[in-house]
Amino acid sequence: TLVSATLLCALTTAQASALTESASERIKQACETLVLDYANHRDQSRGEKLAQLFTEDAELSVNGQTFVGREALRNRFKAPASQTFRHMMSNVQITVIGESQATGVSYALIFAGAIEPKNPGAPVVVSNFLAMGEYHDTFELTDAGWRIASRRFVPVFLSNAQ
């Protein structure tokens, strides 16, 4: 009957919308996890794991330098740490562009301080934050899952304590 067909059509449309919303939430969660994993791996000097968060041809722009490709990222982050870093991430906003692409903006409050060579596990004394700014990201779905395709740090506040 016409009523049954209309009801079935409405249910199918509602189910499709729910699936789309569910898929969108999964994409947002995967991208937010990349944002947080970046901060964690960067802070813990895990360069190889950090590089794996990016696509093979990814681009990272920070502090006036741009690194292109996963190999360049590996080289950037493989050096032994002379400073302790902490990236405090917040206000992560992910926008799903499609089933295989998303963009994001997140805030980062970054602290850094020299590691004491005689006591490398000691707390680091800092007088101020290093920088506060935004990461502007593009994410892509790859065969290995969601990855960062591009990341650009845009400083908003810089410390004058250096």
Distance of alpha carbon 32 from alpha carbon 53, whole angstroms: 12
The pTM of this model reads 0.85
Q: How far separated are the first and last CA of the chain, in Å rounded?
A: 77
For the chain, state the CA radius of gyration: 21
SS3 assignment, position 25: helix
CA 38 to chain centre: 5
Give how far Cα 114 sits from Cα of 52, 70, 88, 108, 152, Å.
26, 27, 18, 20, 25
Mode of pairing for the β-strands spanning 131-142 and 145-158: antiparallel
Give how far Cα 130 sits from Cα of 1, 61, 82, Å.
68, 17, 15
CB neighbours (10 Å) of residue 32? 18
Render each residue's pLDDT in the chain as its tens digit; 162 residues.
Answer: 554 444 444 434 444 444 488 999 999 999 999 999 999 999 999 999 999 999 999 999 999 999 999 999 999 988 777 889 999 999 999 999 999 999 999 999 999 988 888 888 889 888 889 999 999 999 999 999 999 999 999 999 998 865
List 141's β-bridge partners, or say none.
Answer: 146
The number of residues in the chain equals 162
Q: Which pLDDT score, from 0 to 100, does residue 1 have?
A: 55
Q: For residue 88, what are its two tokens?
A: 């405090």
Q: Which pLDDT score, from 0 to 100, does residue 127 have?
A: 80
